[in-house]
Amino acid sequence: ADTISPTTSTNDSLLQPLWDSLRFNYRDYLRSPLFPVVLTVSSYFVVCIPFLVCDIIGDKWAWIQQYKIQPNRRPTATTLLHCAGVTTYNHLFLVFPASVAQWAWRPPIDLPDRAPSVPEIVAGVIGNLLLFDFQYYIWHLLHHKIRWLYVTFHAIHHNYSSPFALATQCLGGWELVTVGFWTTLNPVILRSHLLTTWIFMVLHVYVSVEDHCGYDFPWSTARLIPFGFYGGPNHHDVHHQKPSTNFAPHFKHWDIIFGTHAELSLPPATKQKTTTLLIE
Protein backbone atom coordinates (compact mmCIF):
# COMPACT_ATOMS: atom_id res chain seq x y z
CA ALA A 1 0.00 0.00 0.00
CA ASP A 2 1.12 3.53 -0.74
CA THR A 3 2.28 5.58 2.20
CA ILE A 4 1.22 9.20 2.45
CA SER A 5 3.04 11.51 4.79
CA PRO A 6 1.88 14.93 5.89
CA THR A 7 3.15 17.96 4.02
CA THR A 8 6.41 19.07 5.57
CA SER A 9 7.20 22.03 3.32
CA THR A 10 6.15 25.50 4.28
CA ASN A 11 2.71 26.29 2.93
CA ASP A 12 0.82 29.45 3.68
CA SER A 13 -2.52 28.19 2.35
CA LEU A 14 -5.33 28.43 4.88
CA LEU A 15 -6.80 25.33 3.25
CA GLN A 16 -3.81 23.06 3.82
CA PRO A 17 -5.29 21.34 6.93
CA LEU A 18 -8.54 20.69 5.07
CA TRP A 19 -6.70 19.36 2.02
CA ASP A 20 -4.48 17.13 4.15
CA SER A 21 -7.53 15.70 5.88
CA LEU A 22 -9.21 14.96 2.56
CA ARG A 23 -6.23 13.32 0.90
CA PHE A 24 -5.24 11.29 3.98
CA ASN A 25 -8.72 9.99 4.81
CA TYR A 26 -10.52 9.81 1.46
CA ARG A 27 -7.71 9.31 -1.05
CA ASP A 28 -9.18 6.31 -2.89
CA TYR A 29 -12.58 7.95 -3.25
CA LEU A 30 -11.20 11.28 -4.45
CA ARG A 31 -8.94 9.62 -7.06
CA SER A 32 -11.81 7.68 -8.62
CA PRO A 33 -13.04 8.90 -12.03
CA LEU A 34 -16.55 8.48 -10.63
CA PHE A 35 -16.02 11.07 -7.89
CA PRO A 36 -16.66 14.15 -10.09
CA VAL A 37 -19.86 12.53 -11.39
CA VAL A 38 -21.14 11.71 -7.91
CA LEU A 39 -20.18 15.20 -6.75
CA THR A 40 -21.94 17.05 -9.57
CA VAL A 41 -25.05 14.85 -9.80
CA SER A 42 -25.68 14.91 -6.06
CA SER A 43 -25.03 18.66 -6.00
CA TYR A 44 -27.49 19.15 -8.84
CA PHE A 45 -30.42 17.48 -7.13
CA VAL A 46 -29.62 19.08 -3.76
CA VAL A 47 -29.48 22.55 -5.33
CA CYS A 48 -32.76 21.90 -7.17
CA ILE A 49 -34.69 21.05 -3.99
CA PRO A 50 -35.29 24.61 -2.65
CA PHE A 51 -36.41 25.83 -6.07
CA LEU A 52 -38.56 22.73 -6.48
CA VAL A 53 -40.32 23.59 -3.22
CA CYS A 54 -40.91 27.10 -4.57
CA ASP A 55 -42.38 25.67 -7.77
CA ILE A 56 -44.73 23.32 -5.95
CA ILE A 57 -46.09 25.56 -3.18
CA GLY A 58 -44.66 28.97 -3.98
CA ASP A 59 -47.99 30.28 -5.28
CA LYS A 60 -49.26 30.03 -1.68
CA TRP A 61 -46.40 32.18 -0.36
CA ALA A 62 -46.76 35.82 -1.41
CA TRP A 63 -43.19 36.65 -0.42
CA ILE A 64 -41.89 34.02 -2.87
CA GLN A 65 -44.40 34.77 -5.58
CA GLN A 66 -43.20 38.37 -5.83
CA TYR A 67 -39.82 37.12 -7.09
CA LYS A 68 -41.23 34.82 -9.81
CA ILE A 69 -40.17 36.19 -13.17
CA GLN A 70 -43.21 34.77 -14.95
CA PRO A 71 -45.76 34.28 -12.16
CA ASN A 72 -48.49 33.18 -14.57
CA ARG A 73 -46.43 30.16 -15.64
CA ARG A 74 -45.61 27.43 -13.18
CA PRO A 75 -44.52 23.83 -13.95
CA THR A 76 -47.02 21.04 -13.37
CA ALA A 77 -46.29 17.76 -11.59
CA THR A 78 -46.19 15.99 -14.96
CA THR A 79 -43.64 18.48 -16.26
CA LEU A 80 -41.42 18.12 -13.20
CA LEU A 81 -41.52 14.32 -13.35
CA HIS A 82 -40.68 14.37 -17.06
CA CYS A 83 -37.60 16.54 -16.51
CA ALA A 84 -36.45 14.45 -13.56
CA GLY A 85 -36.88 11.30 -15.65
CA VAL A 86 -34.90 12.65 -18.63
CA THR A 87 -32.10 13.83 -16.36
CA THR A 88 -31.90 10.53 -14.49
CA TYR A 89 -31.91 8.54 -17.73
CA ASN A 90 -29.10 10.61 -19.24
CA HIS A 91 -26.92 10.24 -16.16
CA LEU A 92 -27.48 6.50 -15.78
CA PHE A 93 -27.05 5.51 -19.42
CA LEU A 94 -24.68 8.19 -20.75
CA VAL A 95 -22.73 10.09 -18.11
CA PHE A 96 -22.08 7.15 -15.79
CA PRO A 97 -20.80 4.79 -18.56
CA ALA A 98 -18.64 7.59 -19.96
CA SER A 99 -17.12 8.12 -16.52
CA VAL A 100 -16.36 4.41 -16.13
CA ALA A 101 -14.71 4.46 -19.56
CA GLN A 102 -12.27 7.12 -18.31
CA TRP A 103 -10.31 4.37 -16.56
CA ALA A 104 -9.22 3.17 -20.01
CA TRP A 105 -7.56 6.42 -21.09
CA ARG A 106 -6.99 8.41 -17.91
CA PRO A 107 -6.05 6.35 -14.85
CA PRO A 108 -6.67 7.82 -11.39
CA ILE A 109 -4.24 10.65 -10.73
CA ASP A 110 -2.30 11.34 -7.58
CA LEU A 111 -3.49 14.00 -5.20
CA PRO A 112 -0.99 16.89 -4.92
CA ASP A 113 0.61 17.53 -1.55
CA ARG A 114 0.06 21.25 -1.64
CA ALA A 115 -3.33 22.90 -1.17
CA PRO A 116 -4.24 25.88 -3.35
CA SER A 117 -4.37 29.33 -1.83
CA VAL A 118 -7.68 31.17 -1.64
CA PRO A 119 -6.67 33.62 -4.43
CA GLU A 120 -5.68 30.65 -6.60
CA ILE A 121 -9.11 29.09 -6.09
CA VAL A 122 -10.94 32.34 -6.84
CA ALA A 123 -8.88 32.96 -9.99
CA GLY A 124 -9.24 29.33 -11.09
CA VAL A 125 -13.00 29.22 -10.61
CA ILE A 126 -13.52 32.52 -12.45
CA GLY A 127 -11.20 31.39 -15.25
CA ASN A 128 -13.08 28.11 -15.68
CA LEU A 129 -16.45 29.86 -15.69
CA LEU A 130 -15.30 32.38 -18.30
CA LEU A 131 -13.80 29.69 -20.53
CA PHE A 132 -16.96 27.60 -20.30
CA ASP A 133 -19.05 30.69 -21.04
CA PHE A 134 -17.21 31.21 -24.34
CA GLN A 135 -17.40 27.53 -25.32
CA TYR A 136 -21.08 27.24 -24.55
CA TYR A 137 -21.93 30.52 -26.31
CA ILE A 138 -20.50 29.18 -29.58
CA TRP A 139 -22.01 25.71 -29.11
CA HIS A 140 -25.40 27.14 -28.13
CA LEU A 141 -25.47 29.60 -31.03
CA LEU A 142 -24.69 26.84 -33.55
CA HIS A 143 -27.43 24.62 -32.16
CA HIS A 144 -29.94 27.41 -32.70
CA LYS A 145 -28.72 28.51 -36.13
CA ILE A 146 -28.35 25.01 -37.65
CA ARG A 147 -31.81 23.51 -37.75
CA TRP A 148 -30.68 19.87 -37.75
CA LEU A 149 -28.67 20.41 -34.56
CA TYR A 150 -31.57 22.21 -32.92
CA VAL A 151 -34.24 19.66 -33.80
CA THR A 152 -32.05 16.64 -33.08
CA PHE A 153 -30.39 17.70 -29.84
CA HIS A 154 -31.48 21.02 -28.35
CA ALA A 155 -35.22 21.32 -28.95
CA ILE A 156 -36.14 19.29 -25.86
CA HIS A 157 -34.69 22.01 -23.64
CA HIS A 158 -36.97 24.58 -25.26
CA ASN A 159 -40.20 22.77 -24.53
CA TYR A 160 -40.58 25.34 -21.76
CA SER A 161 -40.92 29.08 -22.40
CA SER A 162 -40.65 29.68 -18.67
CA PRO A 163 -37.60 27.86 -17.25
CA PHE A 164 -37.52 26.16 -13.85
CA ALA A 165 -34.81 24.41 -11.87
CA LEU A 166 -35.42 20.82 -12.96
CA ALA A 167 -35.36 21.91 -16.62
CA THR A 168 -31.66 22.79 -16.25
CA GLN A 169 -30.44 19.35 -17.27
CA CYS A 170 -33.52 18.32 -19.21
CA LEU A 171 -31.33 18.01 -22.30
CA GLY A 172 -30.60 15.73 -25.18
CA GLY A 173 -27.93 13.20 -24.28
CA TRP A 174 -25.41 14.73 -26.70
CA GLU A 175 -25.78 18.13 -25.08
CA LEU A 176 -25.34 16.83 -21.55
CA VAL A 177 -22.25 14.82 -22.51
CA THR A 178 -20.60 17.74 -24.31
CA VAL A 179 -21.32 20.15 -21.46
CA GLY A 180 -19.87 17.61 -19.05
CA PHE A 181 -16.84 17.18 -21.30
CA TRP A 182 -16.03 20.90 -21.20
CA THR A 183 -16.59 21.05 -17.47
CA THR A 184 -14.07 18.25 -17.07
CA LEU A 185 -11.60 19.42 -19.71
CA ASN A 186 -11.36 23.11 -18.81
CA PRO A 187 -9.63 22.61 -15.43
CA VAL A 188 -7.06 20.45 -17.25
CA ILE A 189 -6.48 23.19 -19.82
CA LEU A 190 -6.10 25.81 -17.08
CA ARG A 191 -4.06 23.42 -14.91
CA SER A 192 -6.36 23.93 -11.96
CA HIS A 193 -5.74 22.26 -8.62
CA LEU A 194 -8.14 19.38 -7.92
CA LEU A 195 -9.75 21.28 -5.04
CA THR A 196 -10.28 24.26 -7.34
CA THR A 197 -11.73 21.91 -9.95
CA TRP A 198 -14.27 20.44 -7.55
CA ILE A 199 -15.30 23.84 -6.23
CA PHE A 200 -15.74 25.04 -9.81
CA MET A 201 -17.88 22.01 -10.65
CA VAL A 202 -20.20 22.53 -7.68
CA LEU A 203 -20.45 26.28 -8.25
CA HIS A 204 -21.11 25.71 -11.94
CA VAL A 205 -23.98 23.39 -11.05
CA TYR A 206 -25.39 25.99 -8.66
CA VAL A 207 -25.30 28.94 -11.07
CA SER A 208 -26.67 26.78 -13.91
CA VAL A 209 -29.66 25.79 -11.78
CA GLU A 210 -30.07 29.36 -10.55
CA ASP A 211 -30.07 30.65 -14.15
CA HIS A 212 -32.98 28.33 -14.92
CA CYS A 213 -34.86 28.63 -11.64
CA GLY A 214 -37.36 31.27 -12.81
CA TYR A 215 -36.94 33.42 -9.69
CA ASP A 216 -35.02 36.66 -9.28
CA PHE A 217 -34.28 36.61 -5.55
CA PRO A 218 -32.39 39.44 -3.79
CA TRP A 219 -29.51 37.01 -3.20
CA SER A 220 -29.27 35.89 -6.84
CA THR A 221 -25.72 35.83 -8.16
CA ALA A 222 -26.51 38.50 -10.74
CA ARG A 223 -27.43 40.91 -7.93
CA LEU A 224 -24.21 40.18 -6.03
CA ILE A 225 -21.89 40.81 -8.99
CA PRO A 226 -21.66 44.56 -9.75
CA PHE A 227 -21.88 46.48 -13.05
CA GLY A 228 -24.44 44.12 -14.61
CA PHE A 229 -21.66 41.86 -15.89
CA TYR A 230 -23.46 38.66 -14.92
CA GLY A 231 -26.76 37.67 -16.50
CA GLY A 232 -28.52 35.37 -14.04
CA PRO A 233 -32.15 34.19 -14.10
CA ASN A 234 -33.53 37.24 -15.91
CA HIS A 235 -30.97 36.89 -18.68
CA HIS A 236 -31.70 33.23 -19.31
CA ASP A 237 -35.44 33.64 -18.88
CA VAL A 238 -35.38 35.97 -21.88
CA HIS A 239 -33.63 33.27 -23.93
CA HIS A 240 -36.49 30.84 -23.31
CA GLN A 241 -38.99 33.53 -24.34
CA LYS A 242 -36.90 34.78 -27.29
CA PRO A 243 -34.67 31.86 -28.37
CA SER A 244 -32.66 33.99 -30.80
CA THR A 245 -31.18 36.01 -27.93
CA ASN A 246 -28.97 35.54 -24.84
CA PHE A 247 -27.01 32.44 -25.82
CA ALA A 248 -24.31 32.78 -23.16
CA PRO A 249 -25.03 30.64 -20.09
CA HIS A 250 -23.90 33.01 -17.36
CA PHE A 251 -22.24 36.30 -18.34
CA LYS A 252 -23.47 38.96 -20.77
CA HIS A 253 -20.36 40.11 -22.62
CA TRP A 254 -20.45 37.69 -25.59
CA ASP A 255 -24.11 38.44 -26.27
CA ILE A 256 -23.40 42.17 -26.12
CA ILE A 257 -20.33 41.89 -28.38
CA PHE A 258 -22.11 39.80 -31.03
CA GLY A 259 -25.44 41.65 -30.85
CA THR A 260 -27.53 38.81 -29.42
CA HIS A 261 -28.25 40.43 -26.06
CA ALA A 262 -31.80 41.27 -24.95
CA GLU A 263 -33.15 42.55 -21.65
CA LEU A 264 -36.20 41.24 -19.81
CA SER A 265 -39.30 43.23 -20.74
CA LEU A 266 -42.46 41.74 -19.28
CA PRO A 267 -45.54 43.99 -19.19
CA PRO A 268 -46.52 45.09 -15.65
CA ALA A 269 -49.86 43.29 -15.97
CA THR A 270 -48.07 40.02 -16.66
CA LYS A 271 -45.95 40.47 -13.53
CA GLN A 272 -49.08 40.66 -11.38
CA LYS A 273 -50.73 37.48 -12.59
CA THR A 274 -50.65 34.50 -10.29
CA THR A 275 -52.68 31.93 -12.19
CA THR A 276 -50.98 28.57 -12.48
CA LEU A 277 -50.77 27.38 -16.08
CA LEU A 278 -49.38 24.35 -17.83
CA ILE A 279 -46.01 25.29 -19.34
CA GLU A 280 -46.04 24.80 -23.08
State pLDDT tens for residues 269-279.
Answer: 344 443 333 33
Residue 66 has pLDDT above 70, yes or no: yes
Residue 108 has pLDDT above 90, yes or no: no
- When pLDDT is averaged across residues 108-117 and rounded to a whole number, the result is 88
pLDDT grade, residue 42 (50/70/90)?
A: very high
pLDDT of the residue at 266: 55
φ and ψ at residue 230, rounded to 5 degrees: -100, 140
Residue 178 has pLDDT above 70, yes or no: yes
pLDDT grade, residue 212 (50/70/90)?
A: very high
pTM for the model stands at 0.86
pLDDT grade, residue 106 (50/70/90)?
A: low
Q: CA 93, CA 78: separation in Å to the nearest integer?
A: 22
pLDDT of the residue at 104: 64
pLDDT grade, residue 258 (50/70/90)?
A: very high
According to DSSP H, which parts of the chain are helical?
16-25, 27-30, 35-57, 62-65, 77-90, 96-105, 118-145, 147-149, 173-189, 194-212, 221-224, 232-241, 253-257, 268-272
pLDDT of the residue at 6: 52
